[in-house]
Every structure is written in structure tokens, then in C-alpha cells.
Amino acid sequence: MKVLVTGGSGLVGGSIVRTLLQQGNQVRVFARKTSKTEHLTARGVEIAYGDILDINSIKVALKGCTKLYHAAALYDLWGFDEQALMQTELEGTRNALDAALLGNVEKVIYTSTAVTIGEKKGEVGTETTKHRGYFLSKYEQAKFEAEQIALSYLNKGLPLIIVNPAGVYGPGDLKPSGRAAIDLINERMPGLFGGTNSLVYLDDVGIGHVLAADKGNIGQRYILCGNIVTLNEWGRLICELSGVRTPPILPTFFAGMYASFGELMSRFTKHPPVLSLETFRTVSHGFQVDGSKAAKELGIEYTPLEIGLRQAIQWYWERGLLKRKPTCVS
């Protein structure tokens, strides 16, 4: 059985590919010619080159495939061109699902994100939560609108399942959560602030997608979330594992000012701020989602936070991203 994974050279898509290979699947990855794919071809993965904005290239890539994992996306909470972000998420999703519909694939697993749940402040969101009606980031808005497009394909007869990962962390993560962990260990973060985040370990994301394809029900959404933690709990655990001082808790208002100043400076340096405004808004509002449906219906067992963070820290050290050796590194 051959499956196609869009975005298979990226963080989440790569996790899906690894899980599929471990289960003996034939995997084809849809990637741009500029993507790094050597590590994939070394494992016997077939590469189909194309662009998510070119539907014909997706149609060609899908030939002979029984399943489509659509994980191609742009993700960050800083620095993206809004037009490019919306085009990739919306038009790219339409192209991938149109190609799947024409190709009569047996099943489509669409990678959304748990920020599309849109729970109100203080609430814990589930798959049935009604979105609050406003967005905390351009990324949330783009993915929410893309998910609505994806859901509309159920009426067209597309056998679609949606997976909503929480904040992904683990080896290879250099997005907002990963950059924050690195800055914390390198003592570049002046302080923590009040807020909560929902997290899921990278390997669990790949496993969750494959379980959704095997055991999930058509038309359902499955949140993947192993932990809901306060920013203070997360930061304290990373510092304990790394052997560095835990920074103080800052007033939320001060943290917002720091994020604003950091964004201003980033316009000149072209480097991501230690704390972006969209990250600040998301975490201070509270990002809390419930991953128990996937555990109950799909059978996923989430990796404990400490184990996952140890693996991530080990990877950061091995890649030379940390100033000194963390105490948890063997």
C-alpha cells in the first residue's frame, strides 16, 4: 500500500513518514525541489516534486496512492507574509483535496492544528467546542479557514479525517516552542509570565495521524494533546533538566511590552524575537485543549512531558544550539 504525504520533509510531516515506514508502508513524499529530502531517500522514500499551489503536480504525485496525508503548511507566529500564509493554507488545501477527490483515494488525513478549536479564555476546548469568534494569530485564522474548507469536502463525498495537534515539541523543533526552550536554556529569556499552553510530543503526532487513518471515523476531528501546562511549569521543568536558573515571573503587562519591543527590534535584525506578540497573545489568553478523545478512540498513549523534553534538549545539545551542556544530557 502506497501513501502520499505532503509536507513530508517538514517537522510534522516527517514524523508521519517515520511512523508509516515503521509500519511497513510504501511512502511517497510530495516536496518542493528546494526541500531537503536526502534523509528521506536514504530510507527508501520516493519523492514527488511539485508545489502545493499547482494542482496538476499533486494529481501526478497521487497516482497509485491509496491514502493522502495532507500536512503541508506554513507555521510560525512571527515573520510570515500574511498573503503567502493564507494562499498556502487555503488554496493549497483546496488543491490537495480536489486532487484527492479526483484520484478516488480511500482516505484523506488532514493535518490542522488545535488552535482552530478556539476555546474561550479559561475553558478547555474539545472537538465540539464552538470557536470564540476572534483570532489570536494570523496562523490561527489561516488554519481555521482552511479547516472549514476541508470540512466542506465531506459533502462532496471525500473520506476525510482531521487531526488537530496541540503545540508540537521534540527533537527538530525550531519553531516557537523550540526557540523558546533554546532561549530559556541559554538564559536569554528575561522572565516567564502567566499563561497556559497545550503540548504534544513530536513522535505522538506521527503515531496519532496513522492511528486516525486506521481507526478514526470519517468526518471526525481528533485533538492530539498530551499535556496542558502553565508557562511557569514548563519553564521550571526545562531549567531543572538543563541545570540553569529559572527566570522570574513577570507581570503580564510587562511581558506584553517586552514582546512589542522585541517585534520592533526584529524588523531591523531580521531575527525572530525572543517573545513574539502572537505567541504572547496565545499563551496569555490560555491555549487549553483536551486530547482524551484520541486516547480513547484511537488508543494513543501520550509521552510524558519530562521524557519528551529530555529528548528535545538532547537534540539541541547535539546540534550545537546550546551554550553549555545541560545536566540531563548523557
How confident is the model over 165-183, as pLDDT tens digits? 999 999 999 988 899 999 9
Domains and CATH numbers, the chain: 2-169+199-227+288-303 (3.40.50.720)
**Are the C-beta atoms of residues 143 and 89 closer than 8 Å to each other?**
yes
Q: Where are the alpha helices (DSSP H) in the chain?
A: 11-22, 38-41, 55-62, 82-86, 92-103, 138-152, 176-185, 202-215, 231-242, 252-269, 277-285, 292-298, 305-318
| 24 phi-psi bin (left φ>0, alpha ψ -120 to 50, beta other) | left
> Per residue in 75-132, pLDDT tens?
765 566 778 888 889 999 999 999 999 998 999 999 999 999 999 999 999 999 999 9
- For residue 21, give Cα distances in angstroms to 4, 143, 207: 12, 27, 11
In the sheet that 2-6 helps form, which strands lie side by side, from edge to edge? Answer: 46-49, 26-31, 2-6, 67-70, 107-111, 160-165, 221-224
* Residue length of the chain: 330
DSSP structure class, residue 261: H
Q: Which residue has the cell 465531506?
A: 154
Question: Which cell numbers in the block locate residue 113?
Answer: 492544528
Q: What order of strands is seen across the sheet that includes strand 227-230?
A: 167-169, 196-201, 227-230
Grid coordinates belonging to 118: 478556539
Element (H, E) at 167: strand 167-169
Q: Is the CB of residue 121 less than 8 Å from the CB of residue 173?
A: no
pTM, rounded to two decimals: 0.94
- pLDDT tens digits, 10-49: 999 999 999 999 999 999 999 999 999 999 999 999 999 9
